[in-house]
Amino acid sequence: MAAFVDRVTLHATAGNGGHGCVSIKREKFKPLGGPDGGNGGNGGDIILRVDPQVTTLLDFHHLPHRKAGNGEPGKGGLRPGKQGQDLILGVPAGTVIKTRDGDILADLVNVGDEFLAAAGGQGGLGNAAIASDKRKAPGFALLGIPGQEQDVVMELKSVADIALVGYPSAGKSSLIAAVSAARPKIADYPFTTLVPNLGVVQAGEVRFTVADVPGLIPGASEGKGLGHEFLRHVERCAAIVHVLDCASLESDRDPITDLETIEAELASYEADSTFAGTDGTIVPLVERPKLVALNKVDMPDGKDMADFVRPELESRGYQVFEISALARDGLRDLSFAMAKLVEEARASRVVETPVVEVPVIRPRSVNKREFYIRREEQNLEPLWRVIGEKPERWIMQTDFRNDEAVGYLADRLAKLGVETQLFKAGAKPGDAVVIGVEENSVVFDWEPTMAAGAELLGSRRGEDVRLEDRGARKTREEKRAEHEDRKAAKAAARDELEAERRAGIWTESVHAKAAERKAKQRAQEDQ
């Protein structure tokens, strides 16, 4: 018999994106084929989907670590890499997805409901996609982004209309076996039922589901017995049926005391927001509609005990039914009473008309902050941290072994405005700048004089001369002064040539050469 597991921790790892390809087209008689590296494929996602054939989380208990397929790297000839295969995991209806801290991420109730547990990484661009008018043959490509890793807690809460609660051996399993086709384990010792059992009951034209919750004892809401583990299966139920044992062999127990003990445990248990009304309010378990079933009235002294406690229970406002699950007495009236509560609960639910969202195309906000800079200190030295989705993603896409790729990263950061914001924030040359979070951060010494532009002529593919001899490079002011000196020297040379032309030096020299050429020709003709 398969074990029942209703709470597991899933370690989901999505697929990594494939790296872009660096390739140059080589074909006979076509020496300038250009870049033709393809893009890498995206990594696969991990999706949790409600499957009606799955009733337990046992598979996740045995295999808690799941990983989706990786995207393939790009290939030459503009061939993209294959996309990573998504991993779709079936979960039972009623599965609640939470974080380790208890925050609810999703509540999967209906068949087909899905939750993205981990998103696959984005594939890197090949050098063909990076090429531009100024960077015609890139010697690098973007790397694929690693897939998302996330730990989620999955809790199974039975999707039932009626919950049967009571002390161990009160006859809950016998009752659900008598009114439905469920066949739970039945024995004459406490805690026979170790897992919740579900049964479908047909009362007239109403069909509803009944859940048999394992026996509760004093302190169940604090972790004693089995009730703390399975009280969560009561949260979705619209009504509760107290099954009281009228033929208990324990001298210190009676139906009234058992009812008060179970009510106290239900009141102590805090239902989370997975069961909420149409207005979003959470109905505590102790405030939901209840019925009382006095079981085992066919046993000796069972009928007398039921007649003795029934007036007291009715005076407290409970609707009481005397039944015998073993002899199948009184079950019809109890079934129709449960069906009435289910109908009232279903009628009270407001079915909202689904709203079809019409996509609205809005221009991109010009004031949207792509990143922000935070000043920190490390070893009494200033440290500037750049935090933003784009800079952090660009860091993961950069191959720092390739100088040209690092230069391309500098171009992107400068175009985004990182250098300008560092100036405004008060950063000075030589300060440490960190991009990204601690796990994947990159630290470098900031040099504002580093020119961020297109690919420089004269550098070999895969290299960037801006990263060579950083300390010997001239500043912008020095380069501007040299440019002005060259302009002045060219202007002076032009003025000198113009003066020589006006003085007739160029004209005389030209005439003399022409006269000498003509004299040589006459001499040759005379000979």
Q: What is the mean pLDDT of each run of 10 residues along the chain (527 residues)?
A: 69 95 86 87 94 84 93 93 94 87 86 91 93 86 93 83 80 80 53 62 83 63 50 76 81 80 77 48 75 85 84 87 84 88 77 59 67 82 86 90 88 86 84 79 71 48 58 75 88 82 62 72 85
153 vs 103: CA distance, rounded Å? 10
Residue 59: which residues within 8 A CB-CB, separation 6 or more? none
Answer for the pair 194, 173: CB distance below 8 angstroms, yes or no. no
Fold entry, domain 1-156: Spo0b-associated Gtp-binding Protein; Chain: A, (2.70.210)
pLDDT at residue 189 in the model: 41
Nearest to 416 by CA among 437, 400, 439, 395: 395
What one-letter code names the amino acid at 169?
S
Looking at domain 160-350, does it have CATH number 3.40.50.300?
yes
Q: CA 19 to CA 402: how far, in whole Å?
A: 14
Q: Give CA–CA dist 411/383, Å, rounded.
A: 22
Known binding residues are 166-173, 191-195, 212-215, 295-298, 324-326
* Residues tagged in the binding site annotation for Mg(2+): 173, 193
pLDDT at 420: 85
Q: 477: burial class by Cβ within 10 Å (0-12, 13-18, 19+)?
A: exposed
Angle at CA of residue 350, ends 348 and 352, nearest 5°: 170
Q: pTM surpassing 0.75?
A: no
| Rounded distance between C-alpha atoms, residue 46 and residue 65, angstroms | 11
Element housing 501 (H / E): helix 476-502
Q: How confident is the model at residue 348, as a pLDDT?
A: 75
- Look at the domain 370-444 and name its fold: GMP Synthetase; Chain A, domain 3 (3.30.300)
**CA atoms of 157 and 159, how far apart (whole Å):** 6
> Residues comprising the binding site for GTP?
166-173, 191-195, 212-215, 295-298, 324-326
Which token pair is 379?
Answer: 């070893």
